Structure 1
Amino acid sequence: MTRTQTSGVPAQGAPGGLRERRKRRTREALLHAALGFFTTQGYDRTTVDEIADAVDVSQRTFFRYFANKEAVAFAAQEAVDARFLAELRRRPAAEAPFEAMRRAALKAWDATPEADGEYVTAELRMRVYRMIESTPALHAAHMRRHIGLQQQTALLIAEREGLDPDADPRPRVAVAAFSGVMRLTGQLWGRRSDAGADALRELTELHLDQLGPALSGSWRAA
């Protein structure tokens, strides 16, 4: 007797679930093929046709999943950023802004990346980061995205604190400081020989923990 017969409930939605799994596998295959090409032969030298051919799909199929090459280059980071914003919205109202952002960032990294269909190993993420930093067009896009994330984060912090971000500069100042530290740790991580996620987390926690003392404490030895 099948599971459906035992439960007495027809297995509705199974075909749809299978289609979703296939779509997720196709997207992930395109993502990994693209990142592999980008990090071995260069972003500018890679074509959409090459990426599609590597996965044995049409160019039209590629564009169902990604708007362009830039979108696939930043897909994994976009997933992390989306998780960060979602986690920040869930942080308890009693947490101070810096603590809420810190915990949201760490929670975003702890989330299961497979759930987004954007699973990328730490080693590949590091190679992609270096590729973005060394490719002028992607570096410029990265800075635009970074500024956009800052703006969204500042609005969320202002909402949490019940402030008008146009009248009170504190949300934008706090987020600018936090974002600066996050970018610094990313750059330091990108220069290291060990590409593990643990190394990135260790660097991030170390530098975020120094943010408060660096801004408010005295640096001079007694």
Structure 2
Amino acid sequence: MGLRERKKEKTRLAILDAAVDLFLEQGYESTTVEQIAGAVEISPRTFFRYFTSKDHLVLWFHEHGEEIMLEALADRPGDEPPFTSLMHAMRAVVADVESSTPADAERFLKLRKLLDGHPHLVGLSVARGAETERRLAEVIADRRGVDPDVDQLTHLIVAFAMSTMRVGFECPRREGTMSEVMHRMTETIELTERSLRPGWDLQH
């Protein structure tokens, strides 16, 4: 990452951190884009260079995770079973979170707390996850040589993989720490792999 890109990323994270703190302090609905921009001393116009809306801020981790999974899939062998490739993509997300800084971890936990208190945002999160599933299905269908618009197995493969991530990240919760989240995610991936018969995803 070059100097320009690092500066842009620093600004993006500053906006995100200021927004999440404001959301938690005074409520999501009560916080305006103008207030967020003012907290980091930028104009609202500059805000919109980085995020399209307040909702976009909350869904930032979805975007980041999707990017990691798509990059990981692109690096997997073309003849690898598709579900195996997706599990490697899941592990790439886990590895990214494990390598995060304390600031990254705090950001993640704050966003999680924000979602817990706002059913509206949970709905947006689910919808954004569905977008990711569609993109992953297109990649998996291409690897399998099938049409994603008609092949049900492709979507089932992706749905099983994304369910693994959802269960690993969301439940059951105990301590609410990043180490717990990562342990639970790794444990869920291993449980999924043990539960499915090898080759189930190779049918046509």
Segments of 5+ residues of structure 2 without an aligned counterpart are 198-204
| CA contact 1:80–1:109 (8 Å) conserved in 2 | no
User: Following the alignment from structure 1 to structure 2, what is the Cα–Cα distance between the partners of residues 177 and 20?
Assistant: 35
Q: Which has the larger radius of gyration?
A: 1
The correspondence for 1:38, drawn from 20, 23, 42, is: 23
Gap change, CA 1:124 and 1:192, over 3 Å in 2: farther
User: Following the alignment from structure 1 to structure 2, what is the Cα–Cα distance between the partners of residues 128 and 90?
Assistant: 30
User: Following the alignment from structure 1 to structure 2, what is the Cα–Cα distance between the partners of residues 148 and 54?
Assistant: 31
Aligned CA-pair RMSD: 2.6
In structure 2, the partner of 1:210 is 191
User: Following the alignment from structure 1 to structure 2, what is the Cα–Cα distance between the partners of residues 98 and 72?
Assistant: 30
In structure 2, the partner of 1:107 is 92
Give the % identical residues. Answer: 32
Runs of 4+ displaced beyond 6 Å = none
Segments of 5+ residues of structure 1 without an aligned counterpart are 1-16, 217-222
User: Following the alignment from structure 1 to structure 2, what is the Cα–Cα distance between the partners of residues 98 and 33?
Assistant: 38
Aligned pairs (5 A) from 1:88-103: 88-103=73-88
SS at match of 1:184: helix
Q: Which amino acid aligns with 2:175?
A: S
In structure 2, the partner of 1:64 is 49
| CA contact 2:94–2:185 (8 Å) conserved in 1 | no
The number of aligned residues is 195
Aligned pairs (5 A) from 1:85-164: 85-111=70-96, 121-164=104-147
Q: Which amino acid aligns with 1:170?
A: L
In structure 2, the partner of 1:14 is none
Q: Which has the higher contact order (CA 8 A, sep 6+)?
A: 2
User: Following the alignment from structure 1 to structure 2, what is the Cα–Cα distance between the partners of residues 44 and 113?
Assistant: 32
In structure 2, the partner of 1:193 is 175
Q: Which amino acid aligns with 1:201?
A: M
| CA contact 1:87–1:108 (8 Å) conserved in 2 | no
- The TM-score normalised by the length of structure 2 is 0.82
Gap change, CA 1:52 and 1:110, over 3 Å in 2: same
